[in-house]
Amino acid sequence: MTTLNETHDSNLTSWVESANGGDTDFPVQNLPFASFRRRNSNEAFRGGVAIGDQILDLAALNKSALFDGLAGEALAAAAEPRLNRFMAMGKTSWSALRLALSRTLRAGSSAQEQLKHCLVAQADAEYDLPCSIGDYSDFYTSVYHATTVGSLFRPDNPLLPNYKWVPIAYHGRASSIRISGQQFPRPSGQTRAPDASEPTFGPCKRLDYELELGIFIGTGNALGQPVPIDDAENHVFGICLFNDWSARDIQAWEYQPLGPFLSKNFASTISPWLVTLEALAPYRTAYSHPAADPQPLPYLSSDANSHEGAIDIQFECLLQTEKMHAAGEAPARLSTSSFRHSYWTVAQMVAHHTVNGCNLQPGDLFGSGTQSGPKPEEAGSLLELTNGGKQPISLPNGETRTFLEDGDTMAIRGFCEKPGAARIGFGEVVGTVLPAVTQ
């Protein structure tokens, strides 16, 4: 696992003033990667690194020939429109570039004059997917989410017996994953009311969000070669926020026996910035199953995973209705939670996904599954917050919601903070529901 090094020093400051002061998501200790260009321009997308309210343009930096050796090679790859080649290079290269970026962005760096001309304001930027996503698998790692949702779909049998043994997942669809700012039409499909004998077709009536993390694979593994748990994190490039929009009524009718299909693959939205596992090193925490639960099988267990397999990433879910937007009212907070509650770790997800010989490739995406915490107010979806649509939630302007309505905008924010470490954030993932397409 990643150990702390000079790039994590909480005393470091940057010559980019907006990166200092503790209230930014992007201090010099974070240094996440994205693909960006100036908004409404014909520029090519290229790699960038967030620093305060600015983006360090990696294509411009690459032209300066400031970095050499491993960091220089990594920079050339990270400057491309998609980060796949950089992600495939592996941890030593990612780390070399991070160190070089940290040193040149620090206060007092002699490279300041040269780098000043490589900055683009985030306010002037637009983003693309950071990499080509070949495959997307969606896990189900919150036992609290699984139990609550299970009790709504199957009151007599909420948590299936395999849950505490297997990091459950299904293969999702990559083609409909878009970057933050996505607007998509409400999906239509087959649904069946509980008391009806036949289904009907029409726009989804129970449209929901799912608070998840997106976990991006860096280096892949050869087909037929499982990744041992203690090598698993070497294959993970970084983490973003992920809203896996879900059509609950379509899901309820279609999901047995093969799992979700059209209820999940119409839209999924990721935040633009990939925060590297190295940046998250100060926020690692111990991981365990409760003593009364089955303990993970040997291929899902290691001392390192027990010691620091979990990551304390805090979340906030916010809703802004069309009416709130028109009135200039701020989004209302629906819930807060943390990834530290996850029943399975990132390393266990990688070890499990590959244990049968399945090959992961650079740019593959895992969804963590909805990250609900132990308390009801820590739920990561409306399905849970409204008890299956039975208890509407009230918004500050008097509106109520059971599920999402047309014009609703959801935002998810994420950050890590604790005494003695620099606060780092993920930015946010935002998406808006449009009316259904008429047929």
Q: What CA–CA distance (Å, rounded) separates 242 from 430?
A: 9
Shortest approach of Ca ion to residue 177 CB, angstroms? 12
Between residue 135 and residue 154, which ones bind Ca ion under the rule CB under 5 A? Answer: 138
Between residue 179 and residue 238, which ones bind Ca ion under the rule CB under 5 A? Answer: 210
* 8 carries an active-site annotation: no
Q: Which stretch binds Ca ion (CB under 5 A): 40-48, 130-138, 156-164, 330-338?
A: 130-138
Bridge partners of 37, per DSSP, are 126
Q: What CA–CA distance (Å, rounded) separates 49 from 269?
A: 20
Interface size with Ca ion, residues (CB under 5 A): 3
Question: Closest Cα to residue 346, out of 287, 270, 389, 258?
Answer: 287
Cβ contact 167:349 at 8 Å: yes
25 counts as binding Ca ion under rule CB under 5 A: no
- The DSSP letter of residue 141 is -
Q: What CA–CA distance (Å, rounded) separates 105 from 32?
A: 13
Shortest approach of Ca ion to residue 370 CB, angstroms? 6
Q: Which helix (H) or strand (E) holds 102?
A: helix 91-105
Shortest approach of Ca ion to residue 244 CB, angstroms? 4
Shortest approach of Ca ion to residue 253 CB, angstroms? 17
Nearer to Ca ion, 146 or 351 (CB): 146
Catalytic residue of the set 8, 117, 145, 235: 145
Q: Which helix (H) or strand (E) holds 56?
A: strand 54-57
Whether a cis peptide bond, with omega within 30° of 0, leads into 257 is: yes
Question: Closest Cα to residue 337, out of 307, 365, 368, 306?
Answer: 368
Strand ranges (DSSP E) for 193-345?
Answer: 200-203, 207-208, 211-217, 236-243, 246-247, 268-270, 275-276, 284-285, 310-311, 314-320, 332-338
Given 80, 244, 378, 408, the residue binding Ca ion (CB under 5 A): 244
Nearer to Ca ion, 96 or 146 (CB): 146
Q: What CA–CA distance (Å, rounded) separates 409 from 422?
A: 30
Shortest approach of Ca ion to residue 134 CB, angstroms? 19
Cβ-Cβ contacts under 8 Å for 303 (sequence gap 6 or more)? none
Nearer to Ca ion, 138 or 278 (CB): 138
Q: Which stretch binds Ca ion (CB under 5 A): 30-38, 134-142, 230-238, 394-402?
A: 134-142
- The residue number whose beta carbon is nearest to Ca ion equals 244
Shortest approach of Ca ion to residue 139 CB, angstroms? 8
Nearer to Ca ion, 164 or 173 (CB): 173
Nearer to Ca ion, 120 or 177 (CB): 177
Between residue 247 and residue 286, which ones bind Ca ion under the rule CB under 5 A? Answer: none
Nearer to Ca ion, 244 or 408 (CB): 244
Distance between first and last Cα of the chain: 52
- Give the interface with Ca ion as residue ranges (CB under 5 A): 138, 210, 244
Active-site positions read 145
